Copies of this chain bind each other. A is one copy, B any other.
Amino acid sequence: MKTIFIGAGNVAWHLAMLFFKNKNVQITHIWSRNKENAELLKDKLDKNIEIYHSLDSLDFSKTDADLAILSIADGAFESVLSKLILPKNCILAHTSGAQPMEILKLANYNSIKNIGVFYPLQTFSKAKEVDFSSIPFCIEANNKEIEEKLTSLANQFSQKVFQVSSKDRSILHVAAVFVCNFSNYLWTISETILKEKNLPFDMMKPLLEETLQKALEINPSNAQTGPAIRNDEKVIEKHLNMIEEMNLNSNFSRIYKLMTESIQQK
């Protein structure tokens, strides 16, 4: 399966590395507006891969690609798709949680009859390797044959491959933002508070691990503890005073207040 990567950000990076290890896939081209990212990725893969980076070099009609993986920021979809030309019968699949499949019709749809979604429900950073085997892949396609092809490709990497509609995928994506991005930000607040007082974030790690294990085992709705749910107003007031005295970021106390109120309303 000759494959083009359009994008060289975090998701493209990890998917390309994954595809590269699979003998059924051959990566032939990488396009990225960020040339350096594309070069770095190519260096990790195969010296024969061709690199492009301008919007005017999105015409791949002369290639014999079977699959183009569009893995770019949601905000770049329109500009990239309006320039993208693929060979006939090449599958165009995006990897976004938030974008409907149909957005791919913004591309030169005369030549692009096969569209789909290949969305790994996971967080990716270049600095951290991931194990794909347990990652849920959400697959969607505009016809049964393409759905089967994308499903079969995903099955080579993961035990958990699902057919998911654009609507359900966008619900999963918003739920994922709470689980991942916002949780990570709360942990950053904790790290910041501790750093200010020269206390090691390492002391939080067993608590982090246990909080997660508990949520996995009995589900978060059964696992809530803490001063908010106990209506421990004195402790809440003390915490707010401490946060405000540290004078780090006024959002920290706003977040503390809002989260506490919400837990109490439960």
Contact = CB atoms under 8 A, between A and B. Distances in A.
Interface of A: 10, 73-75, 98, 121-125, 127-128, 130, 134-136, 160, 162, 168, 170-194, 197, 199, 201, 203-230, 232-235, 238-239, 242-243, 249, 251, 254-256, 258-259, 261-263, 265
A106 to B, nearest CB: 14
Contact of A262 (B171, B175, B194, B255): B255
Say how many copies of this protein the assembly contains. Answer: 2
A128 B179 contact: no
Nearest to A127: B218
Contact of A122 (B190, B210, B249): B210
Given A171-B194, A191-B220, A214-B128, A227 B181 contact: yes
B251 A179 contact: no
26 contacts: A73-B230, A74-B234, A98-B232, A121-B204, A123-B225, A127-B218, A128-B217, A136-B203, A162-B203, A172-B199, A172-B203, A172-B204, A173-B239, A174-B242, A175-B190, A175-B193, A175-B194, A175-B204, A176-B190, A181-B263, A184-B214, A184-B220, A188-B220, A188-B224, A249-B262, A251-B261
4 closest pairs, A vs B, by CB? A181-B226, A187-B220, A251-B262, A175-B190
A168 B199 contact: yes
Contacts of A206: 121-122, 134-136, 160
A179 B193 contact: no
Contacts of A225: 10, 123-125, 180-181, 184
A226 B180 contact: yes
B220 A207 contact: no
Contacts of A178: 186-187, 189-190, 193, 256
Secondary structure at chain A's binding surface: helix, strand, loop or mixed? helix
A241 B262 CA distance: 20
Nearest to A205: B216
A208 B220 CA distance: 11
Given A215-B184, A238-B98, A254-B258, A125 B223 contact: yes
